[in-house]
Structure 1
Amino acid sequence: IYQSHIININVTDPKNTKYNHYYLIYVSADSKMFYEETNYNPKVNGENYKIKGNLYFDNNSGISTTDVDAYWRINGLDSPQGTIITDLNGHFSGQISLPSTNWSSIELVLNFTGSPNIYESSLIINNLLVFSNFTCSWDLPKNITEGQNITVRGELTSSTNSSFKIFNRSINIEYGGVLIKNFTTNSSGGFSFNFMPSGNGTLTVSTDNLLHLPIKSSIIVNVTAGAEPPPPGGLLINPVTIIILIVIIAGIITAVYFFSKRQAAEPTVIQI
């Protein structure tokens, strides 16, 4: 029995007198709720999170046109996000926005408060595909020389849960504040690329978000200056040597000049 019923009892005595009695049976049925994850990529602050599920009686028939309340439980505190109404079959679906602030823990709470004839039910979902910041495990050479083409690798994980990989997420790579790469992390939250750093700088990975929050991770790259290439022909001339040669040549020219001038000033003796 899943709804109230009235039992009508008619009693007739030997004198054909009827006695009508009515008994109203009140029934309170159990309810149960199911949640189906339909978000396939990690979401970040301010983005919409899809919600889909079913609300049933315990005989698996749907509870129709009923409100299901949705909450974010952020660091233990509930934040109401509105209601979702079930259809004629007890199915419900919708979406709510993720909080704008960072969190250390977050859960999705779905609650049916019940009615006079139906007991309440609720669900708490804590394995959500959400993050408010990430950590990058960088992998790049320790000794880098200017002009060297290097391979950079990294893996993104949630800053609050290292086992949660930030997979299939669009990211930006900057060096010294200049965008050099834009691509999507793989199924393990990893990425890799080649580039040639020019001087010391900071390598930064970030992800775009609707609230323009600084969701990023950086590492400082130290680059050693390479040796200057030799001039054509393989002759390497030190600048100091060039200066010394110039001074010597200038001295020789000066000496020759004064010697010639002195010779010109002396009288010429002609022998007859």
Structure 2
Amino acid sequence: MTDTYIRERSGAGRKDLRYPAAPEPLTVPVYDNHAHLEILDGDEPLSLTEQLDRAEAVGILGVVQASGDIESSRWAVDAAASDPRVLAAVAIHPNDAPVYAEAGQLDEAIDVIDELAAHPRTRAIGETGLDFFRTGPEGHTAQFEAFEAHIALAKKHDIAMQIHDRDAHDEVLETLTRVGAPDKTVFHCFSGGDAMARVCADAGYYLSFAGNVTFKNAQNLRDALQVVPLDRILVETDAPFLTPVPLRGRPNAPYLIPHTLRFMASELDMPVDELASHIAENTLLVYGPFA
């Protein structure tokens, strides 16, 4: 593929920018259901092929490439078309929706996402949702407008939807109830607690856990993990962000999924292979086959 869109993440303030050594491979392979591989990171950034090769070597068979604006959405579709180990998710991120709206371009941007969603390698709308942490009240109207438009697109194209929810739990759940959620709705990088997890599970939503489930201050995520039915659990990196303990602060990548998965299995007091089998099955049910 042509690298027509690459973002770089600043490493300022981080002590070790080397990519970590590969973990022990998984016996039962899984998939990373949310990553941002268009973002270059670390002292020696990895190409798309290098990311996927490293992942495959430790039992990560595929990656759902998530998006947040027009450029990254096009990059995701290009990546998915160029390598069978990638599926695309396309969307305008809730923090970008007000930017497009202020420029009078939100409707146009949604139209572009609609076009990209029709590609056979696009299997999700995402990430979309609400973020009241980074965007103040002045941007909430645009976020709600974009969120509801993305919900409609997921239904129109009969594909999954990946939700970004930050400091907006009640509003996200209310919107999904009021508008009607797509059949396959995923809370990417789930950030609620056990009470919210029960609500989501009862509604049939999928909860995706990232490396922050291993963080010392994330007991709410571990509590949530305990109550989610095994047929509703997914795993992700959100790479290059949220690198799991004990590698926190270093660049994250799909090949580091085994650290998070093994931690989750330990918390659930179940064999790693059993959890991996459930997660792999869930991923394919949500997104369909990779190849």
TM-score, normalized by length of structure 1? 0.23
- Quick one: higher RCO (CA 8 Å, sep 6+), 1 or 2? 2
Q: Which has the higher strand share?
A: 1
TM-score, normalized by length of structure 2? 0.22
The structure that has the greater radius of gyration is 1
